[in-house]
Amino acid sequence: MKSKTRFDRRRFLELLSVAGVAVYLPGCGPDDGQPPNNPPASSKKALVLGGGLAGLTAAYDLSKQGWDVTVLEAQASAGGRVQTHRAFENGQYAELGATRIPDVHDLTIAYAEEFGLKLVEFQDGTPLYYLGGNRFVHAEGTPWPIDGLSAEEAMEGLGMWSTYIAANFEKFGNPRDGSFPLPGVVDQWDGKTMIDYLKDQGATDAFLPLYASDNGSEVHKIGALAWMALEVADQDWNLTYHVEGGNDLIVQKLLEKLDGKILFEKVVKSISQDDTKVTVTVDAKGTTETYEADYLVCAIPFPPLRDVTFSPALPDDKQKAIDELYMMTAARGTFQTKTRFWKNDPLGELGGLKLVKSDTRAERVWDLTNTQTGDTGILVAYTQNENADAFGAVPEAEREAFMQAEIAKFFPEIEAEKSSFHQKVWAQDPWVKGAWTAILPGQWWMMAVIPRVEGRIHFAGEHTSIWAGWMQGAIESGKRAASEILKKS
């Protein structure tokens, strides 16, 4: 996705809805962005299912209003898909999940500020391209060395974002003022992928691999509407940040605030509700336990939620959304290297977070030491869609060799430079079974259904937000769910 101008955090546009999706945005409520005040009442109880960023956010907001909150987390640790791996030498680390914080993601930045966490900017640099076996860098103002591009594409390259995408923003509407999607947009684009959309704008077949190498191969799968909603919402994205020391420090700060309110290794088995309460049954390492509350925030990703029994049953459309919502597959093969050898590449010094943009199985290679000190490096092959599936299909013991061979196509130094390897395949994580939500062609109807309140059950998680796959989406959804409950009470 393209970025344009620096974001002023004091400039908030009211984000009311996306196809019926209620959205929480600071500055839009009667208490200047804070949930409505409620008198302290420890008798008000809320259960939160899921200790990821969305669930922790909802619990934090409710607890600040005097509610008795209990978070039930299936795993032995919290954070969900905000995971920082710290087993590398020299104190270096790698993100296994959420990595970037755009400067337009105000809620994420606000948490960093509230918790006293330092944000460091990912520095720009010259990326390496490896497309069709051609290894090159691109110099501004020179033609892109890709056969089959149109004359305009050959000169503009990824700058075609302005023509193919940004030029059409007004035709779609803007989620930030509640106008997305404008009348007729769903009928026109709901049945198409983002790649279909680009072709309809005149993109050549030769341009598509270039676009995917920059944005990820998910563009071949995700629906055009979901992609364009985020493009419009984040069109002012300019700078990209990261929490110094690791993004999971946001999670750690929330855990400190919620000390004693989180119970681990509680696997939800059933949820029932009546006119007065919600009851949850869990498996606690072989023992059945029951919890009751006035309201419930369900922040469990939909794939594992399919194993939970609801009584009474959820409406047909909500159950259909739970059963059919697609989780994009993504995987990361991470190498620590002895040096940052790419700074001395024969083509010149390479740099930037997106260090390599390729059409190999390695896909995009990110330099996660872009914001870290030291001489050693952290390179992560960040794969999506079919590339992630291919990596995950390789036996675990053979994945290092598989990814090393892919990276060696453009970085033959990797064999001599590698010092350690770590891998994460999100589709094989039983607690999420995917990396993030992707609304597929024909599924826009889900956007109104997924976050809809069902009696005393409120739904949160990146899958309920237009910012699917981002910490912003998790935080926004948790705040929205908490606000819904506070307004009810």
CA angle 314, 54, 43 (to 5 degrees): 75
* pLDDT score for 29: 38
* Cβ–Cβ < 8 Å for 423, 396: yes
Q: Is 98 annotated as a binding residue?
A: yes
Q: Is 186 annotated as a binding residue?
A: no
Distance CA 464, CA 461 (A): 6
- The pTM assigned to this predicted structure is 0.93
* pLDDT score for 43: 79
Helix (H/G/I), strand (E/B), else coil: 84: strand
Distance CA 397, CA 321 (A): 36
**Tens-digit pLDDT profile for residues 114-127:** 999 999 999 999 99
Q: Which two tokens stand for residue 85?
A: 């791996």
Given phi > 0 = left and psi -120 to 50 = alpha, else beta, which region is 33?
Answer: left
Q: What confidence tier does 1 reach under pLDDT thresholds 50, 70, 90?
A: low
Q: What confidence tier does 21 reach under pLDDT thresholds 50, 70, 90?
A: very low
**Average predicted confidence (pLDDT) for the chain:** 93
* pLDDT score for 16: 33
Task: Report whether pLDDT(5) > 90.
Answer: no
Q: What confidence tier does 321 reach under pLDDT thresholds 50, 70, 90?
A: very high
Q: Which has the minimum average pLDDT: 175-179, 217-221, 252-256, 309-313?
A: 175-179
Q: Which has the minimum average pLDDT: 23-37, 59-73, 112-126, 431-445?
A: 23-37
pLDDT, mean of residues 63-89: 97
Task: Report whether pLDDT(475) > 60.
Answer: yes
User: Higher confidence at residue 24 or residue 428?
Assistant: 428
Q: What confidence tier does 303 reach under pLDDT thresholds 50, 70, 90?
A: very high
pLDDT, mean of residues 108-136: 98
pLDDT, mean of residues 55-63: 98
> Which residue is associated with the tokens 């000190």?
373
pLDDT, mean of residues 142-151: 98
CATH number of 19-81+247-324+441-488: 3.50.50.60
**Tens-digit pLDDT profile for residues 329-375:** 999 999 999 999 999 999 999 999 999 999 999 999 999 999 999 99
User: Higher confidence at residue 42 or residue 413?
Assistant: 413
- CB-neighbour burial class of residue 380 (10 A; exposed 0-12, middle 13-18, buried 19+): buried
Distance CA 356, CA 128 (A): 5
**In the chain, where does the domain assigned CATH 3.50.50.60 lie?**
19-81+247-324+441-488, 84-242+327-428
Q: Is 140 annotated as a binding residue?
A: no
**Tens-digit pLDDT profile for residues 252-290:** 999 999 999 999 999 999 999 999 999 999 999 999 999
* pLDDT score for 42: 62
Task: Report whether pLDDT(41) > 80.
Answer: no
Q: List, in order, residues 6 or more apart from 341 with CB less than 8 Å away.
A: 377, 411, 413, 417
* Cβ–Cβ < 8 Å for 192, 439: no
Helix (H/G/I), strand (E/B), else coil: 107: helix
* Cβ–Cβ < 8 Å for 229, 446: no
Percent composition of the chain: helix, strand, coil (DSSP 3-state, to 5): 35, 25, 45
* pLDDT score for 489: 83
Q: Is 363 annotated as a binding residue?
A: no
- CATH number for domain 84-242+327-428, candidates 3.40.50.720, 1.10.150.120, 3.40.50.1370, 3.50.50.60: 3.50.50.60
Q: Is 382 annotated as a binding residue?
A: yes
* Cβ–Cβ < 8 Å for 269, 300: no
Amino acid identity for residue 47 in this structure: L
* Cβ–Cβ < 8 Å for 261, 72: no
Task: Report whether pLDDT(38) > 60.
Answer: no
Encode 73-83: b = buried (16+ Cβ within 10 Å), e = exposed: bbbeebbbbbb
Q: Are strands 240-243 and 119-121 parallel, antiparallel or unpaired?
A: antiparallel
- Per DSSP, the residues of 428-489 read G-TTTSSSEEEPPTT-TTHHHHTT--BTTEEE-SGGGSSSTTSHHHHHHHHHHHHHHHHHH-
H or E segment to which residue 268 belongs? strand 267-273
* pLDDT score for 169: 98
> Over pLDDT 90: what percentage of the chain?
91
Q: Which two tokens stand for residue 385?
A: 């869609």
Q: What confidence tier does 23 reach under pLDDT thresholds 50, 70, 90?
A: low
Q: What confidence tier does 11 reach under pLDDT thresholds 50, 70, 90?
A: very low
